[in-house]
Chain A
Amino acid sequence: MPFLNVKLGPLELNTPLLTASGTFGFGEEYASLMQLEGLGGLVTKTLTLLPRAGNPPPRLVETPAGLLNAIGLQNPGLEHFLAAELPRLRQWNLPLIVSIAGDTPEEYVQMAEALCREKGIAALELNLSCPNVKKGGVLFSADAALLETLVSRVRLAWEGPLIAKLSPNVTSIVEAARAAAAGGAEIISAINTLRGMVIDVAARRPLLGNLSGGLSGPAIRPVAIKMVYDIYAATGLPVIGMGGIMHTADALQFILAGAAAVAVGTANFVEPHTIPQIAAGLHQYLEEAGLDNLQELVGAAHL
């Protein structure tokens, strides 16, 4: 039986398949539908320091091979997470990756400090697709200098593996990846959703309550693969690739492009067993290709 285990810098996973943040809640909802032990790890919904109410409805609309969402980071806040969700998540024998976001660098740091005191967290993922409220709403991913400072401050507060999740809505995601690495992130997650809009023709208004949203699903897959390919080529950092993965072949595209692990988001809504199905598919692929270990394939598409 070939091995699927991977090492992403300091983070070791038995299976290179994670849930994408915001698509699996805190795991509880899917626990009755499937064996969570089959996941390589669970990435939580992004947490903020204080609870967030989220955006007005409608929050979702299907687009060709895609999903446009504007949830608005609705979450119960850090305190509730620590008291109510974390103890339950710890009981599952599963690497837990906590995703956090803030309006200001200070909020990220404060959350990292609080989480650093907790046991049972395998890694911290910084959702860097949020606007920096202090800097006129520029995305944290869009300003390399700011991004590096933010990551380096979190680095001082958090001792475990640190993942920087980048937004594709920037001029150069490679520059953002370099800045995150310079700040001390060991792993890059890419990509978050692409900004988009749907107009309700009958109403002559944007359909979403928030007007615009983030696009996910198979529609964004080629964009995501190119970004992962570029980040890998430019930085050599371990990358968690995501964007429209539905099947084994999609995951393999990301791995060949340079992703050491992948995450599944929108596909969970379509088929809750996507991750275990892809895990089985990867085993089969390795066996048929006569390979012992998936790591041999990471980045193999590069000349």
Chain B
Amino acid sequence: MKQCQARVLDLVEVKGGFFSLTLYEPYLAATARPGQFIHLRVGSGVAPLLRRPFSVAGADPAKGTLHLLFRCVGEGTKLLSRSREGELLDCLGPLGNCFISSGAEPAVLLAGGGGIAPLIFLAESLRAAGRELYLFYGAAKSADLLPLEQFLSPGPVVKYATEDGSAGEAGLLTAVFQRALAAGLFPGELFACGPRPFLAALAQQNQRRGYPLQVSLEERMACAVGACQGCAVLIRRNGREDYLRVCREGPVFQSTEVVW
């Protein structure tokens, strides 16, 4: 982990309110693993005061580039969406742990809404390793879904779902995934990221079948390096419950150890 100055190479609005940001920072590009994140300083004053955490959505060590995907939801992300080409962004990273694949085929990735970013990175690295991949990607409505073909190399089977049926299959992502299982999908391992209620429902559903499921959690962060204990989540390990840090012991946890 280092403090780096990443240069903005490219910033585009992919779709209403969704931005794709490409940064030049060779150290981060070489060291970031799927599931890890960086802590970005937006602006230089006191509004916003704290840094903002973003998952790494892709890295190209050869080119020295790092890819982020973010959604404009408040002051910090609005400022970030106005970054200019060539500007330097102060960041800490790479932070946190990463997804660890067991190699069991096929790997199934489940992304709820904004949870897509780290799973794009994971999908690309698993695909490069020749893995068989399924990616389930759901949101409330079609306007909230990113066109994945822009970020993913061909290969993975992608299934879209929207709650209102405006794109892909209609219904909650968890329900769409259930139907796929009923239709004969046998996952070797599952990786998920998204809003906590979605992850909790997925973990609950998965209890009976017991596929290995890794989830990436989000919490509000101050330091993002493990010093402040601000990003705690309750985790059960070795028979006892403790608050662990999403920024240090996480963001990736086994679904069975999270106290939902």
Contacts and interface: CB of A to CB of B under 8 A. Distances in A.
Contacts of A14: none
Contacts of B68: none
Contact of B223 (A58, A64, A74, A268): A268
Given A29-B227, A33-B225, A62 B46 contact: no
B243 A269 contact: no
17 contacts: A25-B227, A25-B229, A29-B226, A33-B1, A54-B232, A54-B243, A57-B219, A57-B233, A58-B220, A60-B230, A65-B46, A69-B228, A217-B46, A218-B46, A246-B46, A272-B3, A273-B3
Given A53-B242, A58-B220, A71 B49 contact: no
B172 interface: no
B122 interface: no
A145 interface: no
Contacts of B228: 22-23, 25, 60, 69, 71, 269
A32 interface: yes
B28 to A, nearest CB: 14
A270 interface: yes
A211 to B, nearest CB: 16
Nearest to A23: B228
B227 A60 contact: no
A61 interface: yes
Nearest to B219: A57
A25 B224 CA distance: 12
B41 interface: yes
Given A33-B1, A53-B242, A59-B220, A69 B230 contact: yes
B129 to A, nearest CB: 29
Interface string B216-251: 000111111111111111100000001100001000
A66 B230 CA distance: 14
B232 A57 contact: yes
Contacts of B233: 57
B168 interface: no
A24 interface: yes
Nearest 9 interchain pairs by C-beta: A25-B227, A60-B230, A65-B46, A29-B227, A29-B226, A269-B222, A269-B223, A60-B220, A29-B225
Contacts of A23: 223, 227-228
Contacts of A45: 229
A210 to B, nearest CB: 11
A32 B1 contact: yes
B62 interface: no
A56 B233 CA distance: 8
Contact of A268 (B3, B226, B227, B234): B227
Give chain A's interface residue range (CB within 8 Å of chain B).
Answer: 35 or more
B33 interface: no
Contacts of B231: 57, 59-60
A45 B49 CA distance: 22
Given A23-B227, A33-B3, A270 B49 contact: yes
Contacts of B3: 33, 272-273
B246 to A, nearest CB: 9
B108 to A, nearest CB: 28
Interface of B: 1-3, 41, 46-51, 90, 92, 219-234, 242-243, 248
A67 B49 contact: yes
Interface of A: 22-25, 29-30, 32-33, 45, 53-54, 56-62, 64-67, 69, 71, 74, 217-218, 246, 266, 268-273
A266 B3 CA distance: 17
A228 B239 CA distance: 47
B68 to A, nearest CB: 20
B229 A269 contact: no
A24 B229 CA distance: 10
B225 A71 contact: no
Contacts of A273: 3
B41 A270 contact: yes
Contacts of A269: 50-51, 222-224, 227-228
A53 B49 contact: no
Contacts of A58: 219-220
A266 B222 CA distance: 8
Most buried by A among B226, B229, B248: B229
A271 B224 CA distance: 12
A218 B227 contact: no
Contacts of B222: 60, 67, 69, 266, 269
B47 A270 contact: no
Nearest to B48: A62
A270 B230 contact: no
B232 A74 contact: yes
A42 to B, nearest CB: 11
A96 B220 CA distance: 30
A270 B90 CA distance: 10
Contacts of B48: 62
A25 B247 CA distance: 14
A74 to B, nearest CB: 5
